[in-house]
Structure 1
Amino acid sequence: GLEEVTRLLKEAGINIRTLSLADTTDFGILRLIVNDVDTASRVLKENGLRFSRTTVVAVEVPDRPGGLHSILEVLSKNGINVEYLYAFVERSGQNAVIIFRFDAPDAAIDVLQKNGLTVLPGAKLYGL
């Protein structure tokens, strides 16, 4: 369960920066942003826990009404689909940060940057 995962990561010195948890009647999905992906992956695998690594994109979002909509509008107009997203509690300057999973992450990053939006690299995200 969740306690086991957090214990294993704690014992390995892994810091969880943010997480999202979804549960169904059959299984749960725990999504994590951690400071050391390789070590976290090794620890989970060594302890028989099923996991997969996915590419997510951290984007600065204007922290005002309509801020999220402005980003979703740009993505929609360019045919980029959001598979899921979750809010990141910290702020980056005057902006909020949202973690996105896109069907085409490289294309999404290109579209976001061409439209003047800030995509945060992993090291900066962890340092917030």
Structure 2
Amino acid sequence: MSSKTSFVSSLSTTNARSPVRQLSVFLHNRVGAFLTLVKLLNDHHIEVLGFSLQDSIDLTLVRLIVSDPESAKDLFDEQGHSCAIKTVVVVALEEGAPDLCQALASLLAAEINIHHSYPLLVRHQDKPLLALCVEDGEVGEEALRKTGYQVLCQNDLSR
């Protein structure tokens, strides 16, 4: 097991349920812009745990889940990057498509719409993680928990 894989699996779920926070940053659509952003975070000991890129002609929207969202936001502000924070639901899945279908069915049954989603780079208790930006995070979390899914909080992902 790699150190990246074991990083999250070694953390325990806490009773303090602080929601997972996603940072959204706009970058100029230039070669190496995302690498520069990741290096900036690494230089400040902030680990990228998951990301999504959405490209346009001039700008790229980068969505990030990091080990320390508050420090990352402060760093982005200092560097002049426009940044927004939003809560997301992070759920641990079993391997395979059937479990994904069941998780999505849980959200459908609760009439929860998914705005966007992406996998995380780390695992929790050797399970893959999926970030979901949903229209009602509290209801989405409850629907997933009621059907047996483990929903993680920021403390589960942070050092």
Q: Take 1:10 and 1:119, find their aligned partners in 2: how far apart are those partners?
A: 26
- Determine if contact 1:58/1:125 at 8 Å carries over to the other structure: no
1:31 aligns with 2:63: yes
Rate the CA distance shift 1:93–1:39 in 2: closer, same or farther, 3 A: closer
Rate the CA distance shift 1:116–1:122 in 2: closer, same or farther, 3 A: same
Percent identity between the two aligned chains: 25
Ranges of 4+ aligned residues in structure 1 off by more than 4 Å: none
Rate the CA distance shift 1:18–1:109 in 2: closer, same or farther, 3 A: same
Q: 2:137 aligns to what?
A: 105
2:51 to 3, 14, 19: 19
Aligned residues: 127
Contiguous gaps of at least 5 residues in structure 2: 1-32
1:68 aligns with 2:87: no
- Determine if contact 1:59/1:120 at 8 Å carries over to the other structure: yes
Q: Take 1:99 and 1:123, find their aligned partners in 2: how far apart are those partners?
A: 15
Q: 1:82 aligns to what?
A: 114
Rate the CA distance shift 1:105–1:23 in 2: closer, same or farther, 3 A: same
Q: Take 2:158 and 2:78, find their aligned partners in 1: how far apart are those partners?
A: 25
How much does 1:3 deviate? 2.9
Rate the CA distance shift 1:11–1:125 in 2: closer, same or farther, 3 A: closer
Contiguous gaps of at least 5 residues in structure 1: none
Name the Cα RMSD after superposition. Answer: 1.8
- Determine if contact 2:49/2:121 at 8 Å carries over to the other structure: no
- Determine if contact 2:110/2:139 at 8 Å carries over to the other structure: no
Structure 2 letter corresponding to 1:86: Y
Rate the CA distance shift 1:9–1:93 in 2: closer, same or farther, 3 A: closer
Q: Take 2:76 and 2:123, find their aligned partners in 1: how far apart are those partners?
A: 29
Q: In the TM superposition, what whole-angstrom CA distance separates every residue of 1:21-45 from its partner, at most 9, and x where no partner exists?
A: 1211131111111111111101101
